[in-house]
Structure 1
Amino acid sequence: MEDERKLAAGQSGIILAGGRSARMGRNKALLPVDGKPLLRRLAERMLALGMTRVIVACGTEARGAEYRARLRELPGDLAFAVDRFPGSGPLAGLHAALGAMPEPGYAFAMACDMPAISASLYARMLRAAGEGGRFDEAAGRSDNGGASRTDAGESPASSPDSARLPQLIRTAGQPFHALYHTSAREELERRLRQHDLRVMPLLGALRSIELSAEPDEEEAFVNLNTPELYERFLRLRGDYDGLRQ
């Protein structure tokens, strides 16, 4: 755990919590697990892993005020990012949160309905960002010791150095529990202006490093986006107080 904290020092975490939760029927960010709203549980986990800043993509000012009350007294730097493209889904939240970063760099992004963070996978993502920061274009891969790389063209970058940085470090088929670089915001804005709100095509448009999740890291991709999935998760945990709420 101490190694993960050292790697994460100074990093930002992003929680996407501005959606309508239409399939759940109530705000997923506030679902209770172990007596705490999912939002607070995720924020606490991020801080425990050494992230010093948590940015909540809250969608609206009103929702930001509600979330701020739920996260009172947490240590660390908390920020609340309001969508510049209202009603445009997770891409708008990610765009807003990356825009709230105080300086260029990577942020670890989670959806508010993902209750688990894998410390080991997060640490490996940070290492890939640090060790594989430049691509070997001829080999078609990054120089990070074997993680695969996908590249669907050069997105605009703010400097020659950032032009070859990976913009996304993820696992196959998973847009979240992933590291996004602030340079990805330009591609996000382009797509939002074109009303292209699809998440998976975005992944192919970013310079990416793809890691393979180990079996004991797969829990990180559990999501609770329907009442059935949420209740099943609580039953498996024996969280009967949560079931009664």
Structure 2
Amino acid sequence: MVDIPGGVPFSGLLLAGGRSRRMGTDKALLPVGEAPLLDIMVDKMYRAGCDDVVVSRNESGYTQDIITDKGPLSGLHAGLPKCHHPRILVVPVDMPGLTVEAMRTLATASEPVYFEDCALPCALKRTADLKAYIENQLRSDNGRLSVYALLKFIRAKALPRGDERTLYNTNTPEQWSTFWRSEETYHEGE
């Protein structure tokens, strides 16, 4: 177990339930060395200090969406109740550069936080207001399905972004290739 700064335990929620239409293949199963990206991200979350990690993924053996086809809010809706702690680190599966340190920065904040200009990853506190907000947005015909809207509703604080590689999102084959080429270049310069 990782020593948790501040001593307050937190859960992790990995959002891996997207359809990966732009990637053309399941992003969660993309290989990173010998392991799929899904396993790499779960491992990072545990190393960041998560006591438990819930994987929101529309596959057997994972937490599946109750209200489908509504994006990340569907994953939050299904996954938040399964988390053991009220403090929750929410991570998208498609950010292979997301570091353990960045996750820990979010998860150990005393308030809901995210990185500037990047709604995910974020850290939330599970409250009745949060649950009601998500439920209302998902069930409304004109609900706001944006994670940014949710962060605004809960008055989450934006933290400085830091290294751009950390928050690089890989939604297409081109973005995936670009990320890994930049990683090779970065590590060559060390």
TM-score by length of 1: 0.66
Alignment match, 2:50: 51
Larger radius of gyration between Structure 1 and Structure 2: 1
Shift of 1:14: 1.0
Q: How does 1:57-136 map to 2 (within 5 A)?
A: 57-59=56-58, 63-65=59-61, 80-103=62-85, 105-129=86-110
Task: For 2:60, give the aligned amino acid.
Answer: G
TM-score by length of 2: 0.83
Q: Could you list the runs of 4 or more consecutive aligned residues of structure 1 that deviate by over 6 angstroms after TM superposition?
A: none
The one-character-per-residue Cα deviations of 1:105-150 (angstroms, maximum 9, x if unpaired) are 1111111111133344333334431xxxxxxxxxxxxxxxxxxxxx
**Structure 2 alignment gaps of length 5 or more:** 185-190
- Contact 1:58 1:83 (C-alpha < 8 Å) held by counterparts: yes
Alignment match, 1:193: 139
Alignment match, 1:228: 174
Task: For 1:226, give the aligned amino acid.
Answer: T
The one-character-per-residue Cα deviations of 1:32-88 (angstroms, maximum 9, x if unpaired) are 1122111000011111222121100113xxx133xxxxxxxxxxxxxx322110111
- Contact 1:10 1:53 (C-alpha < 8 Å) held by counterparts: no
Equivalent pairs: percent with the same residue?
A: 31
Aligned equivalents of 1:125 and 1:230: distance in 2? 24
Aligned-residue RMSD, C-alpha: 2.2
Aligned equivalents of 1:174 and 1:82: distance in 2? 24
Shift of 1:185: 2.3
- Contact 2:14 2:91 (C-alpha < 8 Å) held by counterparts: yes
- Contact 1:42 1:116 (C-alpha < 8 Å) held by counterparts: no
